[in-house]
Amino acid sequence: MRTAVTEMFGIEFPIMAFTHCRDVAAEVSRAGGLGVLGVSGHTDEGLDTDLAWIREQVGDRPFGVDLIIPARYEGADRGGLDTDEVSALIPQEHRQFLDEMLDRYDVPPLPDNDAATHNWGPAAPLSSRRADRQLEIALAHEPALVANALGPPPPAMIAKSHTAGAKVAALAGRAAHAERHVAAGADLIIAQGHEAGGHTGEIGSMVLIPEVVDAVAPVPVLGAGGIGRGRQMAAAMALGAQGVWCGSVWLTTEEAETSPAVKQKFLAAASSDTERSRTLTGKPARMLRSAWTEEWNRADTPDPLPMPLQLILTGEARRRIDRMSHHPDSGAQKLANYFVGQIVGTMNQVLPTRQVVYNLVEEFIEAVDSLRSQLEDG
């Protein structure tokens, strides 16, 4: 295949895979696409280790990294708060609500030898200070792409990435967002529709993709949101995208690090079994509906806190849930959930990552051939 995106990165297929799993990222790059590792949850040491491993696995093939520096968050005026400062801002009402929820679902505390909080370092997660350090570590491993998932890429990110030879991408949920990203210096726009997993806006992909393509031409655009099959890839490219950005579809692959309980829920879920919720990070993100979202949706519960307070608040609770969720019919199993898009309704089979890439390409070709034959018949 030949598009502006395959030419930009020297890849065979214009398929970019967002994933938190290094194995998935490496396999997609080795299969001819471009794996993009989401690094917001990594410690400094873990990030360095994972990127070194990916580089060893892919050789000269390209890969990317995805950072999260939101345009608006608590403490943004000074680059983010320290973790202790964030913790001090969390109301007791919210802590008590979580404690009571976990008690009602019989989710045990973490053992003494299991760290109760993530080792975020001196800066709280999802802040520019935290991301600056992650960017420094990432660029040492020569990624081909650096993406920012929330808001325009900061000038320093763009300058450092370009100096290191990396292209910069940014996700957009509206045409106006895409225009701001291009004005800031982004090389590639990811038009992410309402159907997507994780942080997402309110406009569906069918409407959003052509709007963004028209708004930022000739800057190339990737279609995202609701894309997990070759037919959807063909549709996105018919709308003007030069490739696709997929995330959810990798969560049920053989290599995915998705917890077994959540993976089983994904395999059984319908496309209607997701909702946009602020309950994990503080910003609207699409995730699997579960007892967790139902509890937060009750009229008598506190509203989720802004980013990154909600992330810090829920960190230990989610760790406790994940640790026990493999027990069938347990409270933890009922509460377990994760980010996923509406494409989950067709994620009903565990396949190798490489096979998912090839299935996308094969069905894409079939869809294009079908359209071509209809034109010829006419």
Amino acid at 196: A
Residue spans of the domains in the chain: they are 1-72+123-251+362-378, 82-119+258-347
Q: Which of 362, 364, 365 is nearest to 233 (CA)?
A: 364
Amino acid 31: pLDDT: 98
Give the ranges where the chain is alpha helix by DSSP (H).
4-9, 22-30, 44-58, 83-89, 92-104, 128-139, 155-163, 175-184, 205-216, 230-238, 260-268, 291-297, 309-324, 331-335, 353-377
Amino acid 87: pLDDT: 81
CA-based angle 52:136:189, to the nearest 5? 90
| Secondary structure (DSSP) of 216-265 | HTTS-EEEESS--SHHHHHHHHHTT-SEEEE-GGGGGBTT----HHHHHH
Q: Which of 3, 69, 57 is nearest to 25 (CA)?
A: 57
Backbone angles phi, psi at 277, to 5 degrees: -145, 150
Please state, in angstroms and as integers, the Cα–Cα distance from residue 159 to each residue in 127, 185, 269, following that order.
Answer: 18, 9, 42
- Give me 64's structure tokens: 């990317």
Amino acid 132: pLDDT: 84
Cα torsion 127, 129, 132, 138: sign: negative
Task: Show the 3-state SS of 53-89.
Answer: HHHHHHCCCCCEEEECCCCCCCCHHHCCCEHHHHHHH
Rounded Cα gap, residues 147 and 188, in angstroms: 9
In the block, residue with structure tokens 């709007």: 211
- Give me 71's structure tokens: 């345009």
Amino acid 324: pLDDT: 95
In the block, residue with structure tokens 């995730």: 287
Tell me the average confidence (pLDDT) per consecutive run of 10 residues in the chain, 378 residues long: 97 98 98 95 92 98 90 56 78 96 96 60 59 91 94 90 97 96 97 96 97 98 97 98 98 96 97 97 94 96 91 92 95 97 97 98 97 82
Q: Would you identify the CATH topology of the domain 1-72+123-251+362-378?
A: TIM Barrel (3.20.20)
- Rounded to two decimals, the pTM is 0.92
Q: What residues have CB less than 8 Å from 100, skipping those under 6 apart?
A: none
Q: What is the number of other CB atoms lying within 10 angstroms of the CB of residue 97?
A: 18
274-277: strand order across its sheet: 198-199, 285-288, 274-277
Amino acid 10: pLDDT: 98
Rounded Cα gap, residues 22 and 55, in angstroms: 10
Amino acid 116: pLDDT: 46
- CB-facing half-sphere around the CA of 222: CA atoms within 13 A: 31
Amino acid 268: pLDDT: 97
Amino acid 117: pLDDT: 45
- CB-facing half-sphere around the CA of 228: CA atoms within 13 A: 25
